[in-house]
Amino acid sequence: MSDRMLTMAEAVREAMSIAFDERPEVFLLGEDVGIYGGAFGVSGDMYHRYGSERVLDTPIAELGIVGAAVGAALSGMRPIVEIQFSDFTAQAMDQIANQAAKIHFMLGGALHVPMVLRTPQGSGTGAAAQHSQNLEPWFASVPGLKVVVPSNPADAKGLLLASIDDPNPVIFLEHKLLYKIPGRDPVPEGSERIPLGVAKVVREGKDLTIVATGIMVNKSYEVCEKLAAEGISVTLIDPRTISPLDMQPVYESVEKTGRLMVVQEGPAHAGFINEVIAQMAGSSSFGSLIAPIKRLAGMNIPIPYAPQLEKAAVPQIEDIEAAAREIVKNWR
């Protein structure tokens, strides 16, 4: 059993390095991923270890970067694209949504696009409205794309290796605040994959089920620990892959707890967590609920620059705690 406590940046870099060693057709391209080591230092020393033919610095041209990756994938390569901020994928959405996601189906399955697009998302760094978004629902709404949102280093490593293996395009969303924080659990040695489309039960309880994504898993975990000390036990579920979405653990947990709260950083309006609510409402487990489903999400506004406003725009630990207490104590 490994006892290595890595940061998410280290775990992602290790996964890419393993894939580079396993498959000569894997390469990385993006802005400043080479000598500079990535905007957030994720690629690190890979340029010096693997050379400029496998770690490619590109111009500032997201449409061209993703277009080149799609073409390379169709030609038998397995590109890993790094877009500096998830917000900049807007420049490349034609290649992502109309090309990468569609080609396999439009050609009757004759070709695949084994491409991974990695990109940091989320608020908390004072980067303001154009560099702080959570665009999970954009990608999850596009048929043909798989969407992965890791919440910790161990999952990030295993999920990224599985994403690189996948014959389909995968969007891999990494929260920038998690890059330098070690996870709660050790990161295994070796090349073990975590299958896409399998949710993780982070902890089990009997009073409330919380489904959270990305950094909200970590914030919710802190709340679960505090409530446990007071005799309130909570099941915390991390979908890990939001498309395809594994709802079975959610159904099973709600049948035990009778209460459901969903938490995301992005705005509630048209957010991913609404899909969790919709699927729960249409399931046989819906009848197990003894309380209305609680939805906790960011405000429907662009992320402000001012630190106090940025913090107020998205759920914080105290907000999750207050909502959890409300649903448990008011609905018995």
Average pLDDT, stretch 15-24?
98
User: Within a domain: residue 143?
Assistant: yes
Do 291 and 226 belong to one domain?
yes
Q: Are residues 206 and 158 in the same domain?
A: no
Looking at 178, 211, 239, which one is the last position of a domain?
178
Q: What is the pLDDT of residue 77?
A: 98
Q: What is the CATH number of the domain that holds 211?
A: 3.40.50.920
**For the whole model, what pTM was predicted?**
0.96
Residue 194 domain-assigned (yes or no): no
Q: Are 6 and 187 contacting, i.e. CB atoms less than 8 angstroms apart?
A: yes
- Cβ atoms of residues 202 and 238 within 8 Å: yes
62 is catalytic: yes
Query: Residue 142 has what pLDDT?
Result: 97
Domain count, the chain: 2
- Residue 107 sits in the same domain as residue 249: no
Catalytic residue (one of 10, 82, 104, 131): 131
Please tell me the predicted confidence (pLDDT) of residue 305: 97
Statement to judge: residues 20 and 114 lie in one domain? yes
Active-site residue (options: 10, 14, 31, 62):
62
Instruction: State mean pLDDT over 49-56.
Output: 97
Domain of 112: which CATH number?
3.40.50.970
Residue 268 domain-assigned (yes or no) = yes
Residues 33 and 163 in one domain: yes
Checking if the pLDDT of 330 tops 90, the result is no
pLDDT digits (tens, 9 = 90+) for 147-192: 999 999 999 999 999 999 999 999 999 999 999 988 888 999 999 9
Q: Which of left, alpha, beta for 43 (phi over 0: left; psi -120 to 50: alpha)? A: alpha
Question: Is 304 within a domain?
Answer: yes
Residue range of the domain that includes 223: 200-330
Q: Could you read off the pLDDT of 20-30 as tens digits, one per residue? A: 999 999 999 99
Q: Rounded to an integer, what distance in angstroms lies between the CA atom of residue 328 and that of residue 96? A: 42
Q: Show which of 125, 147, 178 is a domain's final residue.
A: 178
- Does residue 186 form part of some domain? no
pLDDT digits (tens, 9 = 90+) for 248-295: 999 999 999 999 999 999 999 999 999 999 999 999 999 999 999 999
The pLDDT-based confidence of 1 (bands split at 50, 70, 90) is: low
- Does residue 332 register a pLDDT over 90? no
Same domain for 57 and 135: yes
pLDDT the model gives residue 183: 85
Q: Are residues 24 and 131 in the same domain?
A: yes
* Domain edge (last residue) among 147, 178, 209: 178
Task: Note whether residue 43 is domain-resident.
Answer: yes
Same domain, 49 and 18: yes
Average pLDDT over residues 34-41: 95
In a domain, 228, yes or no: yes
Residues 140 and 66 in one domain: yes
Are 170 and 230 in a shared domain?
no
Residue 185 is assigned to a structural domain of this protein: no
Do residue 282 and residue 218 come from a single domain? yes
* pLDDT per position as a tens digit, 78-126: 999 999 999 999 999 999 999 999 999 999 999 999 999 999 999 999 9
Domain shared by 234 and 141, yes or no? no
Residue linked to tokens 């390379």: 72
Query: What pLDDT score does 2 carry?
Result: 66
Least confident of 2-11, 39-48, 69-78, 311-320: 2-11
